[in-house]
Structure 1
Amino acid sequence: MKDGKKTGEATFYNPIMKSGADPWVVRKDGYYYYMHTVGNAIQLWKSNSLTDLAAAETATVWQPSGGGPASSDIWAPELHWIQGKWYIYFAADDGSNETHRMYVLQSETDDALGAYKEMGQITDPTDKWAIDGTVLTKKDGSLYFVWSGWEGDENVTQKLYIAPMSNPYTISGNRVEISKPELAWETIGQPTVNEGPEVLVSDKKINIVYSASGSWTDDYTLGLLSADPDSNLLDPASWKKHPEPAFAKTDDVFGPGHASFVKSPDGKEDWIVYHAAKTAGAGWDRNVRIQPFQWNDDGTPNFGKPVSTRTALALPSGENGRVRLEAEEAKLEGLLVKDREDASGGKTVGSDKDGARSATFNIEVEKDGLYTLALRYLNEGAVVEQLTVTVNGKLKVDVSLDAGFNGEWSNDYIPVPLKKGSNEVKFSGGDSWLSLDAIDVLPPQTKP
């Protein structure tokens, strides 16, 4: 490929979303449906590829019509296919955190990106503060709602609760506490926190993976509860809390938490989808990452350690490869090639001087369409970098690259229209703090 080297088609780098928190992914009929917290609405992405979610079709499927109890601070939406319909569970308040409660939407069609009707609040008889609701379905079809809440009316600690459901939008019994922050790794930050419960079932165990310690700290982590499949899930004694974190920070991954789980396109692999702080001390400034995981012999998950953004991962099994163009093989102006071990080709391009700088790639595609360019970069400065992407000398796209990663790589996902055949794509701008590694060319979404 002219002015670009086609390499690494079977790998990708995290993050898969440059910003985002509370990621949720579910797969049905060959598509991945993805959500994360956007705060003022519920947005849904639809993709046939797990690593290309940033390039997916998207729609705002619900937003509040005005003031009211569910008009603000819309957190952690989840999409579930239950009893032949789509349901969306989310937390919201009236502008005051103390009023956070859980709400349900029900689909009016089979299209997950279609219309929804409001089914109202879902609550147990106590009607206390509640967030991060999810649904657990046993093999016999019985439904349970699991969430994070307060015991009383003050923010002292967040505990995990479970309650039976009579249908997908109604809790039919009293809540039962199944976890509270009590271990050293669960109690970092005040108030203490157990939240983000997510169900992960194997043949041998019903697992609930949850987030512990303050989400604003580097020590936000995942814990694990497990129960036998035939046990009484409403009996707290049925749930075993594992004494060590299931997924915790490393020397270069901070605050990994609020995960969801999904299969690879061919169904052969299990993947964890989670958010992490962009760098140490970033708090709620987070991005979304994925990696495969394994299973222990007892039916509990083995997530291993969070993988650094410096590490290339194999694409999910069954996912189409991608074209990677190394920046050092582009036509360069005012940029120098530098050796760097954690770059995809062992090299990056950057500049130590002021002045005009650009990298021009020649991208060949087989058909007209809207493609996405995944730009891997390192911005070691304290300010946002501004680039201009010029396509075939005409269309100009302005791009803002996040700042302050302290040596952590990131990806920006840039949609560009390309025509069949050869296309000249020029990246220009930036300053001496910015290094470019490569671009991955993500094809237009197709039907599975």
Structure 2
Amino acid sequence: MCPSKSLYIYFTATTCDGKSENRRIFVIENTNADPFIGTFTWKGQITDATNKWAIDGTVLQHPSGQLYFIWSGWEGDVNERQILYIAQMSNPWTISSARVEIARPIYNWETNHFPYINEGPQVTIRNNVISLVYSASGSWTNDYCLGLITASTNSNLMIPSSWRKQSSPIFRSANSIFGPGHQSFTKSRDDREDWIIYHSARYSGSGWTRQVRAQPFTWNADSTPNLGSPVNPNIPIRLPSGDQNRVRYEAEHARHFNGPYPHPHSSASNGFKMGYIDYLDSVVEFTIQCPKSGTYIIVIRNANGSAGNAFATHLLTINYDNQIEIPIVNSGWNMWGASMIRVNLNQGANTLTFKKGLNFAEINALDVFLDE
């Protein structure tokens, strides 16, 4: 959040004994123009006078310049439901008013698991319409989803009746994506497209074993976000506008020894995947061409369906040196995910050699681009 030239990060923490009932929200500040090289300083806890349980704080920057803090909290000291509250701020780390309830779980899709939950508020403003997108139901279930509350920038946001909650979720399980929720809004690099980043279950019933996903969204005629439905994990999504192009290397074109071989599957990029990397001496070897020496990002499209939802790894060496262990989480066979690494490559040809690590995983393709 950047209401000024400073960057503020809001995070939730609890006491060292790990007791959930002690969760509160805190703030750190970075005044450097580039926060990736600057220093963050501690601003402390941000709370209203009740100092009740609180998570998922975010800031609404009103066009007038007034700042509002919105978060998910308990009404009392017992975990019965999570309510969305709003309060005015006097600066980015201080609440200056009493908290006001703007939403609580009331619909059956919000109250189908206990405790009842409204959480993860995120705000966007378009044509004087404030859209507050929040998460509802249990994040450990397939029913986790996104709801929408709206208000006008011309209304008094500290009056609960200024906020109107839609009676149906706007983003929920579909297309082999389960329990999508806790999204954030962002823009493409060239500022031309709107995207959401959210997390979902890795597979049906996976609980808090989750994954991060992203996809573009559009706008409804009433200036609220049209998130559509989660895109199937095996349906390609074009790169965000303004992102640099990647060079793709299909696994079926890689050299392979001692077990691995390419075999067809409709979910795979170009229709083939490299499987049966089953033995300690199994090898899959790519040749990567680089226009110049430098730091490159390599995105490995892979899948892990090991028995018992077990974690898997591949062992990667670059130009026959510097072995790297590549973690591959379990989402099931043919449910493709990605492992990303940042490495130094030489101008011209580079050899990337994959070997079996823990358990079992397949490779579909590599995407390679210069880190700049």
Structure 1 length normalisation: TM-score?
A: 0.78
2:9 is aligned to 88
Deviates more, 1:216-225 or 1:389-398: 389-398
Deviation of the 1:229 alpha carbon: 1.7
Alpha-carbon separation, structure 2, partners of 1:376 and 1:287: 14
CA offset at residue 98 of structure 1?
1.2
Match of 1:153 among 60, 70, 77: 77
Distance 1:259 1:362, change over 3 A: same
Partner of 1:277: 201
Does residue 411 in structure 1 map to residue 338 in structure 2? Answer: yes
Percent identical residues: 44
Instruction: Find the counterpart in structure 1 of residue 242 from structure 2.
Output: 318
Q: How do residues 30-41 of structure 1 correspond to structure 2 at under 5 angstroms?
A: none
Tell me if structure 2 keeps the 8 A contact 1:93–1:101: yes
Q: 1:93 to 1:434 in 2, by over 3 A?
A: closer
Q: Following TM superposition, where does structure 1 have runs of at least 4 consecutive aligned residues deviating by more than 6 angstroms?
A: none
Cα distance in 1 for partners of 2:64, 2:280 equals: 67
State the SS of the aligned residue for 1:237: helix
- Structure 1 segment 159-238 matched on structure 2, within 5 A: 159-238=83-162
Measured on the aligned residues, the alpha-carbon RMSD in Å equals 1.7
Counterpart residue identity of residue 166, structure 1: S
Name the amino acid aligned to 1:104: V
1:107 to 30, 33, 41: 30
**What pairs up with 1:326-341 in 2 under 5 angstroms?**
326-333=250-257, 334-341=259-266
Report the equivalent of 1:45.
none
Report the Cα distance in structure 1 between the residues aligned to 2:359 and 2:199, rounded to whole angstroms. 29
SS in 2 for 1:184: coil
Aligned CA distance change for structure 1 residues 124 and 111 (closer, same or farther; 3 Å): same
- Which amino acid letter does the alignment assign opposite residue 109 of structure 1? N
Alpha-carbon offset, residue 112 of structure 1: 1.4
Provide the rounded CA distance (Å) in 2 between the counterparts of 1:317 and 1:388.
Answer: 33
Q: Which of the pair has the greater relative contact order for Cα pairs under 8 Å at 6+ separation?
A: 1
Q: Is the 8 A contact 1:354 1:432 kept in 2?
A: no
Task: Return the match for 2:169 from 245, 254, 262.
Answer: 245
1:36-51 equivalent positions in 2, closer than 5 A: none
| Aligned position for 1:38 | none
- Partner residue in 1 for 2:183: 259
Stretches of structure 1 that go unaligned for 5 or more consecutive residues are: 1-79
Give the C-alpha shift of residue 399 in structure 1: 2.1
**What is the DSSP-based 3-state SS (H/G/I as helix, E as strand, rest coil) of the residue aligned with 1:262?**
strand
- Greater Cα shift, 270-279 or 385-394: 385-394
Preserved CA contact (<8 Å) 1:354 1:431? no
Aligned mates of 1:355, 1:85 — CA distance in 2? 51
What is the SS of the residue equivalent to 1:109? Answer: coil
More displaced stretch, 402-411 vs 123-132:
402-411
Kept after mapping to 2: 8 A contact 1:376/1:436: yes
SS of residue matched to 1:314: coil
1:355, CA displacement in angstroms? 6.6
Confirm or deny: 8 A CA contact 1:279 1:406 kept in the other structure.
no
Contact 1:350 1:432 in 2 (8 A): no
Cα offset, 1:407, TM superposition = 4.2
- The Cα shift of 1:279 comes to 1.2
Kept in 1, the 8 Å contact 2:313–2:360? The answer is no
Deviation at 1:299, TM superposition (A): 0.7
Instruction: Work out the CA distance in 1 between the residues paired with 2:313 and 2:40.
Output: 39
> Structure 1 residues 437 and 194, CA, compared in 2 at 3 Å: closer, same or farther?
same
Pair 1:423-2:347 in alignment: no
What is the distance in 1 between the residues matched to 2:65 and 2:354?
54
Structure-to-structure mapping, 1:121-160, within 5 angstroms:
121-160=45-84
Q: Name 1:368's counterpart in structure 2.
A: 293
Task: Give the drift of 1:116.
Answer: 2.0
Measure, in 1, the Cα distance between the counterparts of 2:366 and 2:282: 17
Work out the CA distance in 2 between the residues paired with 1:384 and 1:178: 42
Residues 381 and 404, structure 1, Cα contact 8 Å, conserved in 2: no
**CA displacement at 1:429 relative to structure 2:** 1.6
CA distance in 2 between counterparts of 1:119 and 1:353 reads: 51
**Any idea what the Cα deviations from partners look like across 1:413-447, whole Å, max 9, x if unmatched?**
13332111111111122599532110111322x2x
Residue in 2 that maps onto 1:434: 361
| One-letter amino acid of the structure 2 residue matched with residue 248 of structure 1 | R
Q: What corresponds to 2:20 in structure 1?
A: 97
What is the SS of the residue equivalent to 2:270?
A: coil
Compared CA separation, residues 431 and 138, structure 1 to 2 (3 A): closer
